[in-house]
Amino acid sequence: MSMSVTVRVAPIRRRPASWPALLWTAPALCFYALFALFPLLVAVYLSFTNWNGIAQAVWIGPANWLHFFSDPLTLHAIGLTVEMMILTWVLQTPLSLLLGVFMAGQQRYRAVLSVFYFLPLLFSTVAIGITWVSILDPNFGLINVALRALGLSSWARGWLGDPGLAFYVVAIVIAWQFIPFHSLLYMTGARQIPRELYDVAEIDGAGRLRKFFAITLPQLKYTIITSSIFMLTGSLTYFDLIWVMTGGGPGYATRILPLHMYITAFMDEQVGYGSVIALVLAISGIALSLLLLRVTGFLRMSSQLEGL
Amino acid sequence: MRLTRVLLSAFSLAGGRSLPMQAEVAPTALGEKKRAEKRTPEERLSRQRRPFRASRLIELIPACCGLLWFVVAFYPLLYMFMSSLRSQAGFYLDNPWLPPSQPTLENYISVWENGFSLYLLNSLFVLVISVALILLISVPAAYAIARMRSRLTRTIFNLFLLGLAIPLQAVIIPIYAIISSMHIYDTLFALILPYVAFGVPLSVLVLVTFIRDIPAELHEAMRLDGASHLQILWRLVIPLSRPALITVTIYESIQVWNGFLFPLVLTQSPEVRVLPLALWSFQGQYAADVPAIMAAVFLSAVPMLLLYIFGRRQLLTGLLAGFSR
């Protein structure tokens, strides 16, 4: 390592003074520091206090943090969050991948269908939540009306009022909302696969399924990783939809961590404890994406197109 | 700094390759046509000569699956639209799967008269000011990071990249505390300031990657002619970065337009309600009047629908910008 020091013979060209650069970035930095970085520090401070949001915050040391790991409601919320993470990944990934490959196809009818597939992306999460609440309505909703018409009245139920069902129903709606997004990513990925690979496979007499498993799937490896990272870390931020659809209920059935944080801090007025949950969310999000990057070897940047 | 490098490499692998100009991303009919033109004559010939084969029949399988997903993806939205055209009595009498028997626009009128126009204006105000501010401060910052390279600008860039990993939920409590202590709680500015702060990192990232790709020779040539940084920015960088500017504008607009958590926590009065929050309170207020709620929901998405109709490619590219995180 000391070698590198002695090698530096030629004087490094003097860099231009950096103060103009500072001036140019200053406005952006100010906003960003005040409302993104500084709050993170404040959150750390608040997590060691007892505060109801109005009176003076009182320093209480690590009590909130200790409480976090023994509070049964929090542990329940952590469990639900992990479950939600896995469930939404399993629901979304195969469908998004197939849809993306489907849309990447050249056929005219596929292009037309794609136009409709993306429509859910245009609506806010609140709009989607409200619409689904109405679709799932026990009396007049689409689902139960259809079930009754098909003679399956016994299957009709209050989908969001049943503590055993609400969680899964919410997961399905989340998948419905985000599948267009991820399939868009897969479509982009699939379109970048070189045609030559398919031409060669065709010469070798490979069928459609064979081509899908031997070419498309391996070539989409990085897209799968990227999309999965967004799905998994994204599931730590599901708030709007669940808040609108169930408010975390019935009981605590859909109270995943982001909702638990909001309810604790802003409704139960335990701001200090809420800050602990918020920080745990932030840390697990960052840790999760780093872990996934490491585990999948994403950083080795090996070429996908080797041998071409 | 390791983290930021990870984020950067994730960007360059995932979004970066496709982000700057995704001509071939959007599934428009136009794109398909271009693709067809690009085929060599031999390819076109072989396509025409291809006889009817079993493989054509096999196409029925994906086609049916595609149609099935069409129903799943589209029917809920169609239901929303059809319900918004029913009268309140009609909603209980009609079959919800079918179009309204007596379509009416009365829900749209009543929603509009119940403050919707105010909420729309509030949303527009927050959107325009936030996005304008984001562009105003991100463009010079991105220019400085891309063109005035030094250790300082690299550090600043890494700092911005760090921001991509901060979820809103993690800082919403302190932001509430800061906004309260600034005495702007329950004003539209309480929304604008944090929106700008959270819009900056991604905008800077997208713009820096784009500005870096502008040939350095052009920059040097203007420099030799004695142009100042400001002139270079105005006459060279901004005109050439139009695609990136459009992407950033669309992405940030969607974030602001559909954002729910900030308005929920940082505002309270009906006078400063923005659309997503208004929809949510409509739902509580008119729980029995589903057609009116559906009309409000549909109205709130009209700007996005227009954007989709007239600029589908730009919109989808803008949406994908989120993936560069």
Cβ-based contacts under 8 A for chains A and B: 312
Residue type, B238: I
Q: What angle do CA B227, B230, B232 make, to 5 degrees?
A: 55
The partner residues of A58 in beta bridges, in order of sequence, read A50
Q: Nearest C-alpha of chain B: how many angstroms from A164? A: 24
Entry field: residues in chain A? 308
Residue type, A83: E
Residues lower than pLDDT 50 in chain B: 1-49, 51
- Of the listed ranges A37-51, A77-91, B14-28, the least confidently predicted one is B14-28
Alpha helices of chain B — where are they, by DSSP H?
A: 2-10, 29-38, 41-49, 54-58, 60-84, 88-93, 106-111, 117-147, 151-163, 168-181, 189-212, 216-224, 229-232, 238-240, 242-258, 261-266, 275-285, 290-300, 302-310, 312-320
Residues B44-89 pLDDT 10s: 444 444 545 566 777 788 889 989 999 999 999 999 999 898 888 7
The partner residues of A1 in beta bridges, in order of sequence, read none
Q: What angle do CA B129, B135, B140 make, to 5 degrees?
A: 140
Whether A233 shows a pLDDT value over 70: the answer reads: yes
Q: Residue B319 contacts by C-beta under 8 Å, 6 or more apart in sequence?
A: A121, A181, A184, B250, B251, B254
Whether A302 shows a pLDDT value over 80: the answer reads: no
For range A78-95, the mean pLDDT: 94
Structure tokens at A62: 């690590």
Which chain A residues are Cβ-neighbours of B13 within 8 angstroms?
222, 226, 298, 301
CA A71 to centroid of chain Cα atoms: 26
Q: Residue B232 contacts by C-beta under 8 Å, 6 or more apart in sequence?
A: B147, B219, B222, B223
Which chain B residues are Cβ-neighbours of A109 within 8 angstroms?
63, 66
Structure tokens at B159: 């700092």
- Supply the pLDDT for residue B295: 92
Q: Nearest C-alpha of chain B: how many angstroms from A166? A: 18
Residues A98-142 pLDDT 10s: 999 999 888 888 888 888 999 998 899 999 999 999 999 888 888
Token pair 């309270």: residue: B268
3-state helix, strand, coil in chain A (%, to 5): 70, 0, 30
Distance CA A138, CA A169 (A): 13
Q: Nearest C-alpha of chain B: how many angstroms from A113? A: 7
- Supply the pLDDT for residue A167: 93
Distance CA B194, CA B173 (A): 12
pTM of the model: 0.82
Superfamily covering domain B106-324: MetI-like (1.10.3720.10)
Which chain B residues are Cβ-neighbours of A142 within 8 angstroms?
75-76, 79, 96-97
Question: Is the N-terminal amide bond of B276 cis, ω within 30° of 0?
Answer: no
Distance CA A164, CA A173 (A): 16
SS3 of residue A250 by DSSP: coil
Closest to A110 (Cα-Cα) out of B156, B63, B234, B9: B63
More confident residue, A10 or B94: B94
Whether A144 shows a pLDDT value over 80: the answer reads: yes
For range A282-306, the mean pLDDT: 67
Which chain B residues are Cβ-neighbours of A274 within 8 angstroms?
173
Question: Are the beta carbons of A43 and B174 closer than 8 angstroms?
Answer: yes
Distance CA B7, CA B291 (A): 45
Whether A172 shows a pLDDT value over 90: the answer reads: yes
How far is the CA of B186 from the CAs of B49, B180, B190, B253, B277, in angstroms? 68, 9, 7, 21, 13
Query: What does residue A141 show for φ and ψ, rounded to 5 degrees?
Result: -70, 155
Q: Nearest C-alpha of chain B: how many angstroms from A127? A: 5
Query: What does residue B294 show for φ and ψ, rounded to 5 degrees?
Result: -65, -35
For range A192-196, the mean pLDDT: 87
- Supply the pLDDT for residue B317: 83
- Supply the pLDDT for residue A277: 92
Residues A248-280 pLDDT 10s: 878 899 999 999 999 998 898 888 899 999 999
Closest to B93 (Cα-Cα) out of A153, A151, A139, A152: A139
Most distant CA pair in chain B: distance in Å? 76
Domain boundaries, chain A: 87-254
Provide ipTM, 2 decimals.
Answer: 0.83
Among partner residues B32, B79, B197, which is closest to A35 by beta-carbon distance?
B197
Question: Are the beta carbons of B34 and A191 closer than 8 angstroms?
Answer: no
Distance CA A132, CA A123 (A): 12
Q: Nearest C-alpha of chain B: how many angstroms from A9? A: 21
C-beta atoms of B96 and A140 within 8 A: yes
Closest to B117 (Cα-Cα) out of B252, B262, B299: B299
Rounded CA Rg of chain A? 25
Question: Are the beta carbons of A289 and A229 closer than 8 angstroms?
Answer: yes
Which chain B residues are Cβ-neighbours of A237 within 8 angstroms?
167-169
The number of beta carbons lying within 10 Å of the beta carbon of residue B63 is: 15
Superfamily covering domain A87-254: MetI-like (1.10.3720.10)
Identify the helix (H) or strand (E) that includes residue A58: strand A58-59
Of the residues A130, A229, A241, the best mutation for testing chain B's interface (the one with the most B CB atoms within 10 Å of its CB) is A130
- Supply the pLDDT for residue B321: 75
Question: Are the beta carbons of A64 and A275 closer than 8 angstroms?
Answer: yes
- Of the listed ranges A68-72, A196-200, A221-225, A287-291, the least confidently predicted one is A287-291
Per-residue burial over A157-184, b if 16 or more Cβ lie within 10 Å, else e, is eebbeeeebbbbbbbebbbbbbbbbbbb
C-beta atoms of B178 and A107 within 8 A: no
